[in-house]
Amino acid sequence: MASMLAWAVAEPGGRGGERLRREHRPLPEPGPGDLLVRVRASGVCRTDLHVVMGDLPPHRSPVVPGHEVVGEVSDVGEAVAGWRTGERAGIAWLRHTDGTCVYCGRGAENLCPASRYTGWDADGGYAEYAVVPADYAYRLPDGYPDERLAPLLCAGIIGYRALRRSDLPPGGRLGIYGFGGSAHLAAQVAMAEGARVHVMTRSPAAQELALALGAASAQGAADPPPERLDAAILFAPAGELVLPALEALDRGGTLAVAGIHLSDIPPLDYDWHLFQERTLRSVTANTRSDGREFLAFAQAHPLHIETVAYPLSDADAALTDLFEDRVNGAAVLIP
Ligand SMILES: [Zn+2]
Ligand SMILES: [Zn+2]
């Protein structure tokens, strides 16, 4: 039987990539509704760190992380229509919803209690092959190399949803707190739509990148931006930044928290942080229509995507570098 290289996390804990174990496994078999995808690039997302370190409770053990997978369809389940071998396909975080609950019924499948996720409930892309239900696979925009497409599939889609959830008005002033993979894509979408973007991050290299991409200003993680904000997105997993971000909002402004995991938020002062109809809201995963909308946007507006390639055999090092904040842009594993 053919075997493949994969990285799995059996027992969460440790720091960075310490708990990833290198394995040789049989190739996964696609079910009737699935695609088998030969992985050509697999993004490393902060959520993978939360899975590996146990910040997210284990859903499957051992599990292969990775939910930003770009590959080539190498086998098609017998019940699948519309996909052929050899086509390029993307695998993202959301891979199952029930389609019958009240949330699915109103177009909020991201809130489906029966949802399942790639690299958490099912094996993901830190491997040479991965399986995805065909209904949850994405067609990918042309004109981008595989390595650059990978971060679009989570960082890009989540950033896009967070931007929409921030209710930024046309031509508005947007604050972005934290400037990694997701933020640098959301910033470009906002700027392409005419927003003025202010970036708050502790990393001098990220500040430089923000300005190079066209941000109106860049400053320290908790510094006040040079003008009041209509909307803000918190990408850094740091609850203490909720306070300065709310303070920076203009009356009626909205702060959207993009992360799946956030450290504790310190007590808020009602007058100072929330009154005047400021809104604080979370962003939870995404719907497939968010994904399709964002990928169509990426087809129409060439995005600049900062990636750092690692061979698949160095997945543990890539995750550790992300943990230690040493990756400027998005780390991508190449089998
Ligand atoms: Zn549902
Ligand atoms: Zn992710």
The CA–CA distances, whole Å, from 98 to 34, 63, 108 equal 16, 22, 12
Write down the mean pLDDT value for the chain: 95
pLDDT digits (tens, 9 = 90+) for 16-74: 777 899 999 999 999 999 999 999 999 999 889 989 988 888 898 899 999 999 999 99
Alpha carbon distance 105, 107 (integer Å): 6
227 CA distance to ligand 2 middle (Å): 31
Tokens of 98: 């029930």
290 CA distance to ligand 2 middle (Å): 14
How many angstroms from the chain centroid is the CA of residue 115? 17
pLDDT band at 129 (very low <50, low <70, confident <90, very high): very high
State yes or no: pLDDT of 328 exceeds 80: no
Question: Closest ligand to 235 CA?
Answer: 2
* Average pLDDT rounded to a whole number, residues 141-158: 96
* 22, 319 contact by CB (below 8 A): no
26 CA distance to ligand 2 middle (Å): 25
* Average pLDDT rounded to a whole number, residues 148-160: 96
pLDDT digits (tens, 9 = 90+) for 256-301: 999 888 999 999 999 999 999 999 999 999 999 999 999 999 999 9
Can you give the pLDDT at residue 265? 97
Can you give the pLDDT at residue 54? 86
272 CA distance to ligand 2 middle (Å): 33
pTM (2 d.p.): 0.93
Question: Closest ligand to 152 CA?
Answer: 2
Residue 118 forms beta bridges with which residues? 122
Around ion ligand 2, residues with a beta carbon closer than 5 Å are 45, 47, 154
Q: Which residues contact 286 (CB under 8 A, 6 or more apart)?
A: 92, 93, 94, 110, 157, 158, 160, 161
28 CA distance to ligand 1 middle (Å): 26
Quick one: what percent of the chain has pLDDT higher than 90?
Answer: 87
Alpha carbon distance 142, 110 (integer Å): 26
- On the 0-12 / 13-18 / 19+ scale of CB atoms within 10 A, 78 is exposed
* 165, 281 contact by CB (below 8 A): yes
State yes or no: pLDDT of 14 exceeds 80: no
Question: Closest ligand to 150 CA?
Answer: 2
235 CA distance to ligand 2 middle (Å): 12
Roughly what angle, to the nearest 10 degrees, separates helices 181-192 and 155-165?
50
Can you give the pLDDT at residue 41? 98
Question: Closest ligand to 322 CA?
Answer: 2
287 CA distance to ligand 1 middle (Å): 11
Alpha carbon distance 217, 169 (integer Å): 19
Can you give the pLDDT at residue 1? 62
